[in-house]
Structure 1
């Protein structure tokens, strides 16, 4: 009878030890398992962004350094050359004026705009030799001469009222500003100048734009 009790007691102790061991194993497994809630944000932070780059709205200005800045110097025109111009002269004397006037027209036939400013070179061909015109001293204003448009300047000279033949004028030589090539024109004004003592030129010219109106 005692032997049976001892056996039952031993069996109960063994069962208790087995149950305790099973409980310990379950606890260790639960504590050692990694937490998925803690690692999820790390995975999200490390993932590369798949969002597409935002395009600039249509019509916005080009960034600095692009070809858009090259337009800054697109309106600068070259100087008008003699070859760019059709040069003519006409009598522009107004009745009653003390002096006579010839208007010289310079028309841009080049097909592109050009700049012109200052005084032309003007020489009258006369029976006494070449006579250079003097500048009037009027202010110079630079201008852009559009294709097909004209600018004018005036030549002023005294009328020959001496009763004599005076100095006969046979031609007009015009050199545009900043140029070396000239054109020779027929003289459209009065046929002669009064004879002087040679103290100075009787002929004066104005700067570009000082006479007439563009056309």
Structure 2
């Protein structure tokens, strides 16, 4: 019986020790877990908040950035397209066509000049910007036939005309002070640079030119832009 009592006592002590050990382990675990959970909650809360803010920020950034990118892409696309179109228009501006231009010839002779001057204005009425430069073709209709003007040799300056803008060039001719009837001018024919279609205008200058020996045309034409607007 004593042996059994000792055995039971030993078993009880062992059981007690085992229970105490388990409780200590549980306490240690319980103390460790709350601390870790708190840390995670704090870090997780902060991290979760940061993650949430980051997610919101990223979502907002993506939304804004996405919209911005989309808008930028569209804008860029349009800009590129506009830029491409604009650049193309600037680099490849179509030349001014005869049918797009309005012509006006006026006497621009100044008292005391040794020669007469007629200014021809060309106004862009084509509804678009167009390029124009160089020398226009100029022919005078006379009672003795057609007289073509020679180029003055002045430098050519490239230029463009916006819709509604005007540019002018000058025609210079000798004044008939010979006292004779001279060569009567009946009309002015103008062909814009790089064009083949001409327009016929009334001649606003002196009625006649002096008779020449036929060695060359006494009439000269300046390049586009060589006469001030409005004559």
Q: Is the TM value for this pair above 0.5?
A: yes
Contact 1:171 1:186 in 2 (8 A): yes
CA distance, structure 2, for counterparts of residue 107 and residue 87 of structure 1: 7
Structure 2: stretches of 5+ with no match in the other structure: none
Q: Which of 50, 53, 71 matches 2:60?
A: 53
Given the two structures, how large is their TM-score scaled by the length of structure 2?
Answer: 0.73
Q: Which of 184, 194, 210 matches 1:168?
A: 184
Contact 1:62 1:68 in 2 (8 A): no
Q: Which of 154, 162, 165 matches 1:146?
A: 162
CA distance, structure 1, for counterparts of residue 228 and residue 17 of structure 2: 122
Q: Which portions of structure 1, spanning 4 or more consecutive aligned residues, are displaced by more than 3 angstroms?
A: 5-11, 23-36, 38-45, 58-65
Report what 2:10 is aligned to: 13
Greater helix share, 1 or 2? 2
CA distance, structure 1, for counterparts of residue 28 and residue 137 of structure 2: 106
**How far did 1:124 drift?**
0.9
Given the two structures, how large is their TM-score scaled by the length of structure 1?
Answer: 0.78
**How far did 1:184 drift?**
0.9
CA distance, structure 1, for counterparts of residue 180 and residue 119 of structure 2: 26
Contact 1:149 1:214 in 2 (8 A): no
Q: Which of 39, 52, 72 matches 1:62?
A: 72
Q: Give the aligned length.
A: 210
Spell out the pairing of 1:6-155 with structure 2 (5 A cutoff).
6=3, 8-26=5-23, 37=36, 40=40, 50-51=55-56, 52-54=59-61, 55=64, 62=72, 65-72=76-83, 73-74=85-86, 76=90, 77-155=93-171
> Secondary structure at 2:155's aligned position in 1?
coil
The verdict on how the C-alpha distance between 1:17 and 1:183 changes in structure 2, with shifts beyond 3 A counting, is same
Structure 1: stretches of 5+ with no match in the other structure: none
State the superposition RMSD in angstroms. Answer: 3.6
The verdict on how the C-alpha distance between 1:70 and 1:126 changes in structure 2, with shifts beyond 3 A counting, is same
CA distance, structure 1, for counterparts of residue 3 and residue 138 of structure 2: 148
Flag the structure with larger Rg.
Answer: 1
